[in-house]
Structure 1
Amino acid sequence: MKTTKNYFPLLAVKLAVLVLLAETAIMGVLPFLGIRSALLENTADAVLLVLVVTPFLVRWALQAARMVGEEVEASRRQLLDIIEFLPDATFVIDSGKKVIAWNRALEKMTGVSKKEMVGKGDYAYAVPFHGERRPIIIDLVSGQDTETEKRYKYVKRTADGTLYAEIFVPSLYGGKGAYVWVTASPLRDGAGNLYGAIESVRDITERKRAEEKILESEDKFRNLTEKSMVGVYLVQDGVFKYCNPALAGIFGFELDEIFGKKGPKDVVLPEDWPIVMENLRKRSDGEVESLNYGFRGLKKNGEVIDVEVYGSRTFYDGKPAVIGTLLDITGRKRMEEALRDAEERSRLILKSAGDGIIGVDTDGLILFANESAQDMLGWKFEEMRGKRLHPLMHHTRPDGSPYPVQECPMYEAFTLSKESQVDNEILWRKDGSSFFVIYSARPMIRNGRTEGAVITFKDITERKKIELEIRTLNAELEVRVEQRTAELRSAQERLIQSEKMSAVGQLAAGVAHEINNPLGIILGFAQGLVKRLKENDPAGMPLRSIERETLRCKDLVQELLIFSRSSKIEEEDLDINEALGGALSLIFARARTQGVEIVRELSQGLPTIPANKGKIQQTLINLANNSLDAMPAGGTLTIRTALSLKRPGHVEIRVQDTGHGIPKEIQPRVLEPFFTTKEVGKGTGLGLAVVYEIVKKHNGSLEMESAEGKGTLFSIFLPIKAAKAPSDRQPTP
C-alpha cells in the first residue's frame, strides 16, 4: 500500500507535469512514450489533492517541474530514436502538416535526407513519392478525400481512424519503383484532439511479386482445372468445397448444382459408397497420404459410369480435406473389355485355326506357336520357345540335301522383309519324319521397321496323295474320254452311214423290184435255150455267159433287197459253231487255190443264240471273201468264237487276216454301200454293208481294227438273249 508521505509528492509531480505540458509542444510526442495515459488517469485525484493540500503542492511543484522537464526531454529523444531506427520507412507530421520526424529507412527509400525534409510543410512529404505536392494517405486521417483515395489500389479505414492502403510508387529507389503498403494513424491528446499523424511505408515489392506469381499460378491452375477434361475436386466435411466444370459434367450436373451443395455420396453408386467413404476417411485422418482406385459413379439421370480417382490429403481453412482428380473411364473400360474380348477371340482363333502359325523375332527365334503348329510338328511350345526356326523344322530339302538358311524364304521374311508363298515344301517333325506343306512367310512390320515374321503353314500330305490319285484318275479318264470320244465319233459316223444306207436301201428296193422280173425272164429264156443247144453249138458260149451274168445280177438284187426289208428276220436258237462250220466249207476251195491257210479257233460249249442261220453264214462268207481278196499271194485267215469278255452277255466272232490292211483314211467309208477299192467288175461294194445290216438286225455290233501291212480284224458281238428292241449300236472301225 502507498503511504501518505509518498503519495503527496507524487501528486505534486503529476500536477507540475500537466502544467508544463500544457505550455509546451511536448504533448505531441508524449503519447508515443505512454506517458499521457499514465498522467491523465489520476488527474482528478491530483486536482482534489491540490485543493486539499495546496501548501504542499506549491513547494513540490517547482521541484517536480524541473524533474519532469528533464524526463520529458529524455523521453522525446528516446521516441525520436525509436522512430529513427524503425525498419519501416516512417515519418511524422504535426497538426500543421509539417514534418517533425523522417527516419533512416525513409531516407534510403526516397533518397531524401531528414535534414532536407524535417520542418517542411505544404505537402512537401508527397514530392519524394509522387513528384508533386498533393495530399497523400497521411492527409486522410483528418477526413475523407475521394479523389486522393482513388489514387490508391486499396484503402481501408478502421474505427480508430487508422488507414491502410496499397500503391505502386515508380520514383522510389532511384526510379526503380516499388509496391508499398502504407499505414497512417492519427495522433490525439488526452482530450481526443488531433495534434498530428504518423505514416509507415513498408516495401512489399517482393511480397507483391510473390503474390503475383501466386495469382498467376492460381490463374494458370484455375484455367487448367476449368478447361481440363479431368474432374478436379476438393472434399471437406462430405461436401465438394471445390470442383471444376469437368467434374460436374461427368456426373451430368451444372457447376452451380454441385459446387458446395453436393458431396461424394450423391454421385457414388450406393453399393460402392462404403469403399469410397472408407478411403476418404483414411486420407482425412492421415492414415494414408494418397490413394488411387476406381468405383462406379451415379449420374444425375441415373446412369451408372465407371470412374477412377486419385486423391491426397490436404488442409483447407485449417481443417483436413481431400483434393484430387476424377476421370470417367467408362469408355476406357468398355474398350478394355472389347480389347480383352478381341484378345480372347484372337487367342481362340489361333488356337482353333487348322493351319499352323509360328511367330519369330528378327533373329529367327520362335516367339509363338499355336496348337495346330505344335500338333503337326510334334513339339510342345515350351520346347520350341527361343529356338531357331530353320534348324528346328526346315533344315533339309525334300530330296534329302541340306537346306542353307540363306536360301530359306522364311529366313528372308524376317531378315529382308520379303513376303513369300511356297506351294510345295516339307517340314520336319520332332520324330525326324517329314510332311508336305504349303506355307507363307510374311514380315511383321511396326512403324516401318521389321520386328520379326509370321509363318503360316498347312499340312498337304493327304492333299498330295489325293492329287496323285486324281492325276492317275485323270490320266485314266483322259484315255477313257479319248476312247469314248472315238466311239462317239464312230457312232456318229455310223449313224450318218446308217442314214445313207437307209436311203440307199429305199433306192435299192425300188431298183430291185423293177429289175427282178426282167432278170427272171432273161434267166428263164437263157437257161431254156442252153438246154436245147447241141454240143459244140456256137451259140452255147454267149447263152451261158448270159445265164452266168444274169445269176450274178440276181444275187446283186437279193443283196439290194436286204436294205429294203425292215421287218424282223426269222430267228432260231442257233449253235454258232455249227453255222460257221457250214459256211467255212464254201470258202475252203478258194482259200486253197490262193494259198491261204484257214485257222479255226472255235470255243466249245458256247450257248445258243437267237439268230438266222443263213444270215449269219452270209456275214462270215462276206468277211472271209474280203479277207481272201486282201491276200492274193496267200496268208492266214483265222476264225475265232468265244464268250466275249469285252461285252459280257455276248458271243464274239472274230475274223482276222494277214492281208495288206485297209488305209486309215478310207476306214470310215468301208461300210458305205457301193464303196469299193476293187477293180470294176470284181466287187459291188455291198459286202461289208450287208454284213453291218445283218448284224444290226440281230441287235449286235460290228467293230474293225486294221493297219496297213499287218492285216484286218472284224469282231462281231451277238447277244445271247434276244433284246426287247433293236439296238442302235454302231460299228466301230
Structure 2
Amino acid sequence: MSEKLGLIVEDSLSEIYVFNADTYEFVLVNRGARENLGYTMDELRELTPWDLKPEFTREAFVRMVEPLHAGAERFLTFETRHERKDGSVYDVAVKLQLIRGDDDVFYAAIEDVTERKKVTEELRQTNRRLDAILNNTKMAVFMMDDRQHCVFMNKAAEELTGYTLEETLGRPLHDVIHHSYPDGRPFPLAECAIDSAFPQGNQMEGEEVFVHKDGSFYPVAFTASPIRDDAGQPVGTVIEVRGIAEDLRTREAMRAFNETLQQRVAEAVAEQRKAELQLAQAQKMEAVGKLTGGVA
C-alpha cells in the first residue's frame, strides 16, 4: 500500500514537497517538481523551502508557518515564486499543511501557475485597453447579457442617460431608460426594436426616444448588435447610442428652409407665368390695334 501511495505521489501532476517540520529539510520531492526545478533528489535534500523561494527569508517562512505548528490553522494557501537551478523563476500556488506523526512533516502541493498568470495579465491588459477605448469614445455603449440585463455602460452612456453603471447593473435596460412613450404611455418590451436584436439574432438600427434620469425625454439613434459565442449563438447585445437632438433641430431647420425655398420658387414661377401672360396679352392687343389702324 505504501509503495502504491509513493507511486501516486511520484506521478502526481502537482509538484509535491515533503519537508521536516523541525529542520525544514526536504524528505521527498516528486518527479514533476524535480523536473521543473532541474534538481536531483540528492541535491534537494541539501536545500530548504526558502532556498527555492527568493521572496522568503528563513525568518519570514518560519513565521508564516507558525499557525500550523500552533494548531491555529489546518492549512495555508499562498502564491509565490520558485527559483530553478538555472536561476529562472516561475509562479506557483501553494497549499501547505502539517502532518503529525512520529516525525512531523510539512506536505506542500504546488501548482505552476505561470501560464495562468500570463493569461490573466494579458486579459487584464486587454480589458484596460478596451476600457480606455470605450471610455474615451463619445458614442454611448451599453452591453446586455442573455437576460437583457445591463452588464456594462461606458462614461458616455452615463452622461447621456444620467445614470451610473452601478445604478443600472443587473437591471433590464429597457426598464431604466426606455420604459415610456413621450406621451406617458408605457412602452412594452415586446415593441422595443432594440431588445429584439437578441432574440432575433439580427442587427437592428433606428431612432428612438429615451427617458433621462431626470424624467425628460430625448431622441437617440441606435445600433443594437447581438454578441455571439464561439458556436455562433447569441449570448448578449451591444448597443451603440448617440443623442440626435441637435441633428433633429438641423433636420427640421433644413426641412423648413426647403419648404420656404420651394414656396418662393413656386411664387417666382407663378409671377413669371403671370408676367408672360400679361406680355402675351399686351402683344396681342398691340397687334389688333395695328390691324384696326391699317384698315381705317
State the TM-score, normalizing by the size of structure 2: 0.71
Q: 1:277 aligns with which of 62, 74, 98?
A: 62
Checking the alignment, whether the CA contact within 8 Å between 1:272 and 1:295 is kept in structure 2 is no
Instruction: Establish whether residue 418 from structure 1 lines up as the match of residue 201 from structure 2.
Output: yes
Look up the match of 1:547.
none
Once residues 88 and 8 of structure 2 are traced to their aligned partners in structure 1, the CA distance between those partners, rounded to angstroms, is: 28
The superposition leaves residues 584-605 of structure 1 with CA deviations (integer Å, 9 ceiling, x where unpaired) of xxxxxxxxxxxxxxxxxxxxxx
Structure 1 pair 308–272 and aligned structure 2 pair: CA distance change class (3 A): farther
What is the distance in 1 between the residues matched to 2:99 and 2:171? Answer: 55
Q: What are the Cα deviations for residues 409-435 of structure 1, in whole angstroms up to 9, with x where unaligned?
A: 223234x24333223322232334333
Deviations 1:178-231 (A, max 9, x none): xxxxxxxxxxxxxxxxxxxxxxxxxxxxxxxxxxxx15xx33x44433333321
Equivalent residues of 1:284, 1:321 under 8 A apart = no
Q: 1:360 touches 1:452 (CA, 8 Å); kept in 2?
A: yes
Q: CA RMSD in A?
A: 3.9
Return closer, same or farther for 1:403/1:292 CA change in 2, 3 Å cut-off.
closer
Which residue of structure 1 lines up, in the alignment, with residue 160 of structure 2?
376
* 2:124 paired residue among 329, 337, 340: 340
1:336 aligns to what SS in structure 2? helix
In the alignment, what sits opposite 1:407? 191
Q: CA deviation at 1:273?
A: 4.5
Change in 2 beyond 3 A, CA 1:391/1:628: same
Query: What per-residue deviation string (whole Å, max 9, x for no partner) do you get for residues 222-269 of structure 1?
Result: 443333332111112232111112112332x23345342322232120
Matched, 1:248 2:31: no
Whether 2:295 is the aligned partner of 1:632: answer: no
- Equivalent in the alignment of 2:135: 351
**Superposition map of 1:429-448 within 5 A:** 429-444=212-227
Q: 1:291 to 1:297 in 2, by over 3 A?
A: same
- Please state if 1:314 is matched with 2:107: no
Does 2:89 align with 1:304?
yes
User: What secondary structure does 2:240 align onto?
Assistant: strand
Task: Measure the CA separation in 2 of the matches of 1:385 and 1:377.
Answer: 14
Whole-Å Cα distance in 1 between the matches of residues 142 and 87 of structure 2? 49
- Answer yes or no: is the 8 Å Cα contact 1:440–1:456 preserved in 2: yes
- Of 15, 22, 47, which aligns to 1:262? 47
Letter in 2 for 1:321: V
1-structure distance, mates of 2:196, 2:162: 25
Q: 1:315 to 1:334 in 2, by over 3 A?
A: same
Residue 13 of structure 2 is aligned to residue 229 of structure 1: yes
Query: CA 1:634/1:476 → structure 2, altered by over 3 Å: closer, same or farther?
Result: same
Aligned residue type for 1:427: F
How many residues matched? 268
- Output aligned runs, 1:22-61, within 5 Å: none
| Letter in structure 2 aligned against 1:255 | T
Aligned letter for 1:462?
Answer: E
Query: What is the distance in 1 between the residues matched to 2:56 and 2:235?
Result: 47
Mapped pair 1:325 → 2:98: no
Q: Does 1:290 align with 2:75?
A: yes
Identity %: 25
1:95-110 aligned within 5 A = none
Give the alignment partner of residue 246 of structure 2, picking from 462, 467, 471. Answer: 462
Instruction: State how far apart, in whole Å, the 1-side matches of 2:71 and 2:193 are.
Output: 65
Whole-Å Cα distance in 1 between the matches of residues 9 and 68 of structure 2? 22
For 1:319, what is the secondary structure of its paired residue? coil
Contact 2:203 2:226 in 1 (8 A): no
Distance 1:475 1:356, change over 3 A: same
1:458 to partner: Cα distance: 1.4
User: Residue type of the partner of 1:429?
Assistant: H
- Of structures 1 and 2, the larger Rg is shown by 1
Q: Aligned partners of 1:456 and 1:309: how far apart in 2?
A: 45
Aligned partner letter, 1:433:
S
Unaligned runs of 5+ in 1: 1-213, 479-626, 636-733
Secondary structure of the structure 2 residue equivalent to 1:232: strand
- Secondary structure in 2 matching 1:228: coil
Give the Cα separation in 2 of the matches to 1:226 and 1:261. Answer: 20
Q: How has the CA–CA distance of structure 1 residues 305 and 474 changed in structure 2, closer, same or farther, with 3 Å as cutoff?
A: farther
User: Corresponding residue for 1:238?
Assistant: 24
Partners of 1:354 and 1:348 in 2: CA distance: 12
In the aligned structure 1, how far is the partner of 2:169 from the partner of 2:71? 50
Given that 1:359 and 1:366 are in contact with CA atoms closer than 8 Å, whether structure 2 keeps it comes out as yes
Per the TM alignment, residue 439 of structure 1 is displaced from its structure 2 partner at its CA by 1.2
Secondary structure, in 3 states, of the residue corresponding to 2:222?
Answer: strand
- Any idea what SS the aligned residue of 1:411 has? coil
